[in-house]
Amino acid sequence: MVPLLIGITIICFTVMHLAPGSPTDLQTQMNPRASAEMKERLRSMYDLDKPLHQQYLFWVGKLIVLDLGRSFSPDRRPVADKILERLPITILINVLSMILIIIVAIPIGVLSAVHQDSLFDKITGVFVFVGFSIPTFWLALLLMILLGVNLGWLPISGIRSLNYEYLPPFSAFIDLVKHLILPVFVSAFGGLAGLSRYMRSSMLEVIRQDYITTARSKGLSERVVIYKHALRNALLPIITILGLSIPGLIGGSVIFETIFAIPGMGQLFYMSVMARDYPVIMGILVIGAVLTLLGNLIADVSYALADPRIRVA
């Protein structure tokens, strides 16, 4: 955990030194987007006149107290505030799509393993390949054209309507849900395909085990064999896969938050990249990695809780 955190900060620190104004950069003079004032602020913020190891220590020291500096944008607000106010909606969408992935992919995987080579298995097999290969931003565009522009069923941008503040609580909630349907579906789609595939192969693996044969031969119903004996064991590796899929989900938030104009961390990251707002970029890079690390930690702990044979060392 701690070595990983240190490694994360070292990589961010290295990326940061690609910025104009750093002593290693020869492009500074060539880069019209970096004004003299910006360079001066970068220099003082990252102590660029000090030796490298001191720069790193100063920077990490500030990081620990969440001092990420101030944004280069005209509002000059602290980076930590800008990120924290946008984090909840991003986490909400990611958690919702995680839940959607779990409740849809696991039954699909189980059913296609139990009925291997059936029509259902073949159809989901095609769906998995398409799901792996489809560009999510294109899927988003198509759904926007179909459900938003042509049919007018769902709003295609933002998270609330213009008249949101005048709506009674229940309608306001419905309004929010309507705005979230497309983003959650789109961000879940790729993961759905992947997870149902893993679930299927994990289930196939378990069904071949001796204890399943034992369960069958002592006369248990197929239902109990599959859903009690097999499913529990097949779910174990899925916990790890879910943990591994977290960086993809967080990274994907840049794309769908930009397309659907959702005011989350991903959109902030995109805008900061376009505006070369270096302090915000660095802040989100660190926070994105730490979130991933936390997600993996949660996956490890749940694995240990779910499987008594494994204890956290």
Partner 1 sequence: MANSTIKRDFWHRFSKNKIAVAGSAVVILLFVVSLLAPWISPYDPGEINLQMVLSPPSGSHLFGTDQLGRDVLSRMIWGSRISLKVGFVATGIAIAIGIILGATAGYYGKWIDGTIMRFVDIMLCFPAFFLILAVIAFLEPSIWNIMIVIGITGWMGITRLVRADFISLKERDYVQAARAIGASDLRIIFIHILPNAMASVLVAATLGVAGAILTESALSFLGIGVQPPTPSWGNILTAGKDNIDIAWWLSLYPGLAILITVLGYNLLGEGIRDSLDPRLKG
Residue 273 binds to partner 1 (criterion: CB under 8 A) = yes
- Which residue in 114, 188, 282, 299 binds partner 1 (CB under 8 A)? 282
Pick 7 or 23: Cβ nearer partner 1? 7
Q: State how far the Cα of 212 lies from the Cα of 225, in Å rounded to an integer.
A: 7
Q: Which of 269, 267, 291, 264 is nearest to 282 (CA)?
A: 269
Task: Tell the smallest beta-carbon distance from residue 253 to partner 1 (Å).
Answer: 8
Name the one residue in this structure whose structure tokens are 């699909």.
Answer: 108
Q: State how far the Cα of 49 lies from the Cα of 61, in Å rounded to an integer.
A: 17
Tokens matching residue 26: 């020869």
- Judged by CB under 8 A, the chain residues 247 through 266 that form the site for partner 1 are 247-248, 250-252, 254-255, 258-259
Who's near 14: CB < 8 A, 6+ residues apart?
none
Task: Tell the smallest beta-carbon distance from residue 306 to partner 1 (Å).
Answer: 22
Q: State how far the Cα of 70 lies from the Cα of 59, in Å rounded to an integer.
A: 14
Largest CA distance in the chain: 80
Per CB under 8 A, which region of 99-107, 207-215, 223-231, 290-298 contacts partner 1? 290-298
- Judged by CB under 8 A, the chain residues 13 through 32 that form the site for partner 1 are 15, 18-20, 31
CB distance 269 to 254 below 8 Å: yes
Tokens matching residue 109: 């995987």
Pick 134 or 304: Cβ nearer partner 1? 134
Pick 3 or 169: Cβ nearer partner 1? 3
Where do contacts with partner 1 occur on this chain (CB under 8 A)? 3-4, 7-8, 11, 15, 18-20, 31, 129-130, 132-138, 141-142, 144-145, 149, 156, 200-201, 204, 247-248, 250-252, 254-255, 258-259, 269-270, 272-274, 276, 278, 281-282, 284-285, 288-289, 292-293, 296
